[in-house]
Structure 1
Amino acid sequence: MSDERWATPEEIGAARRRFEDAIPGYLPPMAHAIMLPGGDFARVNVGDGLLPAVILATLLGHAGGTASYPLDAATLDRAVAMLTPAEACTAMPHPNLAVWRWLHGTDGLTAVFLASLGESPDPAVGALTARLLAGREENPDGTTTLWRPVGPAELALIAESGYAAFPPRLPDQPIFYPVLTEDYAARIAAEWNVEASGSGHVTRFRVGTGFARRYPSRQAGGRDIAELWIPAEDVVELNAHLAGPIEVVSSF
């Protein structure tokens, strides 16, 4: 393994697939991280870091699902050796490799894999799940409140639906981005939508929490600036899980 060099993103992708194919029934995690002895996380990977994930899975006997595993220093060193060929590719960063090297010699680590954001009695799983749900307004009625800043064109389409649905994404819009706080939505509407299209509006809506938990919170510049990344093809399903109308709460 030490003689290998994966010098391009394509070679890294091929290496990842080889590791995945070697684990029967392997399913990449929604998120994964290494928990430090004090309970914090050195780095949280959400929908990325798939090569580091499968390397850890290979060493720890993980095939899929949600689980945590003790990670001793010797196993982490083996993981570093297995991931090192990837640094030959200078076209992309390698943050997990840097973190793993920084953790060299550390005892009491825990590798955590999440397949979903459900409840779990496992403390490490619960800690990572809580991290990825931080800042959400989950309501007692089983809904989650989200906000979305929109321009006048999108608002007109929402109005045409009777404030009952968000419009399909355009071809150059692969992701639908609702945000977790009204303040963040207002900042985008006032600073970006106004400049881009002359006006900006903040919408508020409630969606079933079970649906919302399919998408981990992603930081967009700080722990208080978070959003969900919902693929464009899931917007129809999002609309089916709306609880009540889409409301316009402010305009700029």
Structure 2
Amino acid sequence: METWSTREQLTRAGDRMAAAIDGWEAPYAHGVGLVPSAAATAAPEHFPLVNTADHRLPGLVIAGVVGHARGTAAYPMTPEDLELAVERLTPAEAFTGGIGHPNLWTWRDVYLRALREDPGARLVAVFLASPDGAADDPAADPADDAVAGAVPAFREALARAAAH
């Protein structure tokens, strides 16, 4: 298995991923939420990690899995999608140069376990194109409440994280 043990290897891996996504535009922020089966819709607490430019690689991994290229969007994810994302991000764990891997650890050690314990829980990936409010938010999909509420819930989670 390939590993990325240097900052340069991480950068090259991210560059390769970005080049493989046609029309890629880096998001302002991104994250993956776990919505328990008991929740009607996504809420800010379902997004324990919100990422901005300092964590570009996890966003590229998720974008490659869900097919995101640009703009603000929310995507439902399956447990298999998350397992694929974990597999694709695992080589980064070899890098121990002063950064942790909170996305990988959350996806693998928290979300995958939670999905086994609550098979009705839903995963949702969110990408925000800009910090400028909700002007670029997509229309909600009433067929999937977890996805419909994900963008506003993520925006609130991002604002809470920025306040701390």
Match of 2:58 among 52, 56, 72: 52
Deviation, structure 1 residue 95: 0.8
Alignment-mate amino acid for residue 125 of structure 1: V
**In 1, Cα distance between equivalents of 2:21 and 2:153:** 27
The answer to whether the aligner puts 1:130 opposite 2:139 as a matched pair is no
Match of 1:112 among 104, 126, 139: 126
Alignment-mate amino acid for residue 11 of structure 1: Q
Q: Secondary structure at the match of 1:7?
A: coil
Structure 1, residues 49-79: CA drift from partner, whole Å, max 9, x if none?
Answer: 2111011101101001100000110110010
Q: Secondary structure at the match of 1:19?
A: helix
Q: Give % identity.
A: 41
Report the equivalent of 1:9: 7
Unmatched 5+ stretches in structure 2? 116-120, 141-148
User: Highest Rg: 1 or 2?
Assistant: 1
Matches of residues 214-229 of structure 1 in structure 2 within 5 Å? Answer: 218-219=162-163, 222=164
Report the equivalent of 2:102: 95
**In 2, Cα distance between equivalents of 1:66 and 1:51:** 18
Report how many residues are paired: 136
Do the aligned residues in 2 keep the contact of 1:16 with 1:50 (CA within 8 Å)? yes
Alignment-mate amino acid for residue 157 of structure 2: R
Do the aligned residues in 2 keep the contact of 1:80 with 1:100 (CA within 8 Å)? yes
Match of 2:22 among 21, 24, 30: 24
Report the equivalent of 1:139: none
More helix by share: 2
Unmatched 5+ stretches in structure 1? 135-216, 223-252
**In 1, Cα distance between equivalents of 2:56 and 2:159:** 21
TM normalised by structure 1 equals 0.51
Do the aligned residues in 2 keep the contact of 1:46 with 1:218 (CA within 8 Å)? no
Deviation, structure 1 residue 218: 2.2
Deviation, structure 1 residue 116: 1.5
**In 1, Cα distance between equivalents of 2:158 and 2:95:** 29
Alignment-mate amino acid for residue 54 of structure 2: D
TM normalised by structure 2 equals 0.76
**In 2, Cα distance between equivalents of 1:104 and 1:132:** 23
| Higher RCO by CA contacts (8 Å cutoff, separation 6 or greater) | 2
Match of 2:90 among 84, 105, 126: 84
